[in-house]
Amino acid sequence: MELDDRIRSEMIRCLYDYWSNLLAGRQAPARSDVDPRAMPRILPHLGLFDVENDPRRYRVRLMGTNVVEWYGCDVTGHYLDEIDLGLNPGTVFSILDHVVRSMTPAHMVSEYTKQDGRRIRCERIVLPLSDNQRQVNMLLGASVQLSVASDDATASDSAIQPASG
């Protein structure tokens, strides 16, 4: 299924369309191409992450206010491997690593249980940014909270797929 067919949220679609328009024939836009003033409605849902290598780590540079609210705290400045991503955070890191390696977007709908017992379900998109067109140095993303599934299962990262087209 194509990325356009999987996106549910208007905010996710707006960010993806904005990012796509910045491509201008490149694999990924640069961070300097992104203008927060061009997407004021998306900002509360936005995340911006520095990509570090040797070892590969992801540092939260910016977390939107809506995400901070439903996640339960502001993780700006922290590394993703230091925060509560549920019992199986490896899936999240494999997706981020895929975006960095392939320089292509990833879209997912996921649900997990935090260590405090709260279940979080959200739709996310992760988009590569590259200052040199050779490697991804930042990730731009958006997350929108969804209603938690009514069953008792704690689905883990369902419907996760790299974006195609």
Mean pLDDT of 70-86: 86
Amino acid letter, residue 37: R
For the domain 3-33+43-120+127-146+153-162, what is the CATH superfamily, name and number? PAS domain (3.30.450.20)
Evaluate if residue 144 carries a pLDDT over 80.
Answer: yes
How many CB atoms within 10 Å of residue 51?
A: 20
Could you state, in order of their start, the residue ranges of all structural domains in the chain? 3-33+43-120+127-146+153-162
Which has the higher per-residue pLDDT, 89 or 54? 54
pTM of the model: 0.85
Evaluate if residue 160 carries a pLDDT over 70.
Answer: no
pLDDT digits (tens, 9 = 90+) for 79-138: 988 887 766 677 788 899 999 999 999 998 888 777 777 788 889 999 999 999 999 999
